[in-house]
A and B are shown apart, each in its own frame.
Chain A
């Protein structure tokens, strides 16, 4: 059979489809976005009418998937690592309700923060929730794992995490397809109270969740994705998780240590015990944070265990073949430095971007108040912090712009401005707006409406065409919802609108509205 050339993300999408997927939910976020995009444009998914939409945020996505699982169907939810923070309430509780139809929570982590505001390791969430997790090392495993993940999810009535990292999500390789499984028929949970978490039921379910841990461990012992590889040099044993296994194998010609490759959690205790007994020292290679290393080392610190915690490897940032090579004590390959004249080329707002004109007008209107007044958020418009714009002051988490402006204004700070993108507003700005309206905060909220979720590659924005109605419905006075056209020819008018709304004491919303310059090309495709 011919191989498909797929990104790690696409391989998961194809793997889920071929394993009987009925519905995919998610919120865009690099590096996770292509899972849903792949399912959306897949002709077989279209033919089967697999449900495949973006949700307003990661929490609503996970809850929708729970509903689909409740009626017996297999689903996948996708998000980036910080999205799991947003979905965390639903996620933690879904470990107690469990699944009826199989559930895969696919989370893509971004070590080294290529496109993120922090680096976190989602395996900690899986451990926290006592959920099984899969961590593919290559595209073929990314394709193969959903099948076993659904099997385990339905066997133990538990959602299952699939944890990815940037390099696998965004790397392509040939993938061989398996047979295609039928979708589940609709059926309600056999146990009537399965999705009922009143305390009396929840306590029972928690005991049950704890009790099945042994079985999950046994699944890991027998998993095709956990593999013990004999080696002759027992001075060191290497535990390699997910992608780290590849960086090890890249250098493995030159050494011969026993290896335990990990692709399924909870950790297989017997196999770990085995390598621990057999080898003098243990090196743990894991992409992200030192989860396995910390578990093995324990609080008092077993001196035989090495990894990111004791500085054998860098504590932060993603792994690569060079870091692993160095750790194995192998000589460096010869290479030259970057010539000195090469200068940095940071990302920037596109020429002609609507945000540029919005910021120009806002900055001019704010001139008399000095620096430090503009709370912003996450999206293309965050690049407005950089020169030559220098237009905003903060970026923390999605939705924080509005709530932080409220807090600053509560402390007597004036003016307090929030700038937030349309998709981000829908994701988690509306609740902040409600707070502002209820306590009549003196803030100006600028909703930068470029028609689309641009930063993550042009996904539809859930609030498209509804922003004014939402603001009005939440209670913003109609006269203080102002729509402007961010074009340089309207600059003076726009400055005036900003000034008027800054002068108004209360909640104002200014909506600069002009499509991202790439929207047209995208829609034409």
Chain B
């Protein structure tokens, strides 16, 4: 088993929590893991990405090679496309459709969605909207993780366990909100497929 995943978004959107939960679930499942993330300068509203590699064999490089990623999981639509060079031929693009516009030259939204939909293997969902609907407006990132959950080759229970471990410190309410969000994302993909 081997999954190479690019996580993408804008600084502050919570991709490191997604990484931490998948990472915890992988370790709890006895798998090898490497996860390279971005700290510092780029976190100030700039583009951020994380390379996440899971395997049942030892992993060498902390970085995924171009053309090697099984999945791109993005919490922002334009950011999902920035990492296309990493996607393997049969890889999946899973992205939130809610644009985060903090630059003057953000592309035309219609064109952007058209480009995303031109990839045969894609899942596009308005995770902000779904998070709001279920009453967990701050858990957009977990909705996206939920949408990707069936592609990870990790058991759903382990991901839930990851959420409990990572958010446990912040109290039961936050854990529940995030559990609800990941479930909503998973449901979306089930119907979409």
Contacts and interface: CB of A to CB of B under 8 A. Distances in A.
Given A322-B66, A345-B46, A170 B36 contact: yes
A168 B51 CA distance: 12
A250 B60 contact: yes
B24 A5 contact: yes
A347 B44 contact: yes
Interface centre among A246, A341, A456 (most CB of B within 10 A): A341
Nearest to B83: A338
A125 B111 CA distance: 51
B38 to A, nearest CB: 7
Contacts of B61: 246-247, 249-250, 320-321
Given A167-B62, A338-B81, A114 B40 contact: yes
Contacts of B155: none
Contacts of B63: 167, 247, 320-321
Contacts of A337: 84-85
A170 B37 CA distance: 6
Interface string A329-353: 0001111111101111111111000
A339 B66 contact: no
Contacts of B62: 167-168, 171, 173, 243, 246
A506 interface: no
Nearest to A457: B39
Question: Contact size class for A?
Answer: 35 or more
A343 B111 CA distance: 13
A33 interface: yes
B44 A350 contact: yes
Contacts of A247: 60-61, 63
Contacts of B84: 335-339
B68 A333 contact: yes
B1 interface: no
A383 interface: yes
Interface centre among A333, A339, A456 (most CB of B within 10 A): A339
Contacts of A346: 46, 103
Interface stretch (B27-35, B127-135, B143-151, B171-179): B27-35
Contacts of B46: 345-348
Contacts of A119: none
Given A171-B37, A347-B41, A333 B67 contact: yes
A321 to B, nearest CB: 4
Interface in B17-72: 19, 23-24, 27, 32-47, 51, 59-68
Contacts of B102: 345, 348
Nearest to A337: B85
Interface residues of B, number: 52
B35 A171 contact: yes
Contacts, number: 153
Contact of A335 (B24, B85, B105): B85
Contacts of A288: none
A521 to B, nearest CB: 11
Contacts of B65: 250, 320-322, 325, 333
A30 interface: yes
B92 to A, nearest CB: 14
A111 B57 CA distance: 29
A173 to B, nearest CB: 5
A496 B46 CA distance: 34
A380 interface: yes
Contact of B42 (A114, A252, A320): A114
B154 interface: no
Interface string B103-115: 1011110011001
Contacts of B86: 335
B34 A171 contact: yes
A343 B89 CA distance: 24
Given A172-B34, A173-B34, A246-B62, A347 B42 contact: yes
B40 A3 contact: no
Interface string B84-107: 111111000000000000110111
B128 to A, nearest CB: 18
A129 interface: no
A5 B23 contact: yes
B89 A345 contact: no
Contacts of A171: 34-37, 51, 62
Contacts of A456: 40
Contacts of A5: 23-24, 27, 33
A144 to B, nearest CB: 16
A433 to B, nearest CB: 27
Interface in A387-423: none
Nearest to A29: B40
A329 B142 CA distance: 41
Interface of A: 3, 5, 30-31, 33-34, 114-115, 167-168, 170-174, 243, 246-247, 249-250, 252, 320-322, 325, 332-339, 341-350, 380, 383, 455-457
Which 7 pairs, one residue from A and one from B, show the smallest C-beta to C-beta distance? A30-B40, A335-B67, A333-B67, A115-B40, A347-B46, A115-B41, A171-B36
7 contacts: A30-B41, A172-B35, A335-B87, A341-B112, A346-B103, A348-B45, A456-B40
